[in-house]
């Protein structure tokens, strides 16, 4: 069959679960292909933990500069936020880490393939994975398949995501301007991370949480520390409140 590959294992998804699995399989001598439809590193490295932490670091730096006079450090003029340049800087960090993932896979003998994978019916105890890539369709026959396909944002009824006025976390991480106001629906760690970043950069942030507490399920004493910090930053927190819709 044209464009057919035979391996011991296929890992679908190259996030922290998938690429680590692929590296370990390579180290054990298992002939493996890791398939990823977008960039290596998955949600975490591309539009999750890493870019979030990069923007958090930048926001903390801006906040420290804004208050540096109390420490006897005077900055000539007023500190300014160039959000577009911040995005370029963040992108450089992400690119460096995702390129590192590909190199780690290659160094351990695991092949990386870009494309969208789907499972097909196999025979004789084997699995068939069809990969649609830029060079067409490839069939991979493997003894084992690992599904590491990551997470997807939940769409709240009444808030269709358009990445303009209504953003998911990926859209919020890619803004090239600091918004004047922002409503964060959900007081979990992702929402609070993003809300804190923009609050430090000058955005008026309101957090809407349906439950009676922020960071549901986490240690109550830790939650109190976070709540005090948010209040000090001027973030409005609305608990026991459901977001039903929005209008311009």
Give the angle subtended at the CA of 153 by the CAs of 214 and 238, to the nearest 5°: 25
Structural domains of the chain in order of their starting residue, each with its CATH number: 1-151 (3.50.50.60), 169-238 (3.50.50.60)
Model pLDDT, residue 37 = 94
pLDDT < 50 stretches in the chain: 1
pLDDT at residue 125, rounded to an integer: 67
The Cα 186–Cα 215 span in angstroms is 9
> What is residue 248's predicted lDDT score, i.e. its pLDDT?
76
185-194 pLDDT, tens per residue? 999 999 999 9
pTM for this one? 0.87
- At 115 the pLDDT is 96
Q: How many CB atoms lie within 10 A of CB 151?
A: 11
Would strands 127-133 and 116-120 be described as parallel, antiparallel, or unpaired? Answer: antiparallel
- Output the six-digit token pair for 99: 């390129």
User: Smallest Cα–Cα separation from 90: which of 196, 175, 203, 204?
Assistant: 175
Question: Over the stretch 139-150, which tens digit does the pLDDT of each residue have?
Answer: 999 999 999 998
């Amino acid at each position: 069959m044209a464009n057919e590959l035979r391996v011991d294992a296929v890992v679908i998804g190259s996030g922290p679960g998938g690429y680590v699995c692929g590296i370990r399989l390579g180290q054990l001598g298992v002939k493996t292909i890791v398939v990823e439809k977008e960039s290596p590193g998955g949600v975490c490295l591309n539009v999750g933990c890493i870019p979030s932490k990069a923007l958090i670091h930048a926001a903390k730096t801006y906040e420290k500069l804004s208050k540096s006079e109390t420490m006897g450090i005077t900055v000539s003029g007023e500190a300014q936020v160039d959000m577009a340049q911040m995005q370029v800087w963040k992108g450089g960090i992400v690119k460096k880490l995702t390129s590192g993932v590909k190199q780690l896979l290659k160094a351990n003998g695991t092949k990386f393939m870009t494309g969208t994978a789907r499972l097909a019916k196999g025979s004789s105890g084997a699995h068939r994975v069809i990969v649609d890539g830029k060079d067409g369709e490839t069939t991979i026959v493997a003894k084992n398949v690992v599904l590491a396909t990551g997470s997807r944002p939940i769409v709240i009824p009444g808030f269709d995501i358009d990445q303009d006025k209504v953003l998911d976390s990926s859209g919020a991480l890619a803004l090239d301007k600091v918004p004047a106001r922002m409503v964060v629906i959900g007081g979990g760690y992702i929402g609070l991370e993003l809300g804190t970043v923009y609050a430090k950069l000058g955005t008026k942030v309101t957090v809407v949480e349906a439950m009676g507490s922020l960071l549901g399920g986490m240690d109550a004493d830790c939650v109190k520390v976070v709540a005090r910090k948010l209040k000090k930053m001027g973030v409005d927190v609305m608990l026991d409140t459901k977001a039903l819709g929005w209008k311009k």
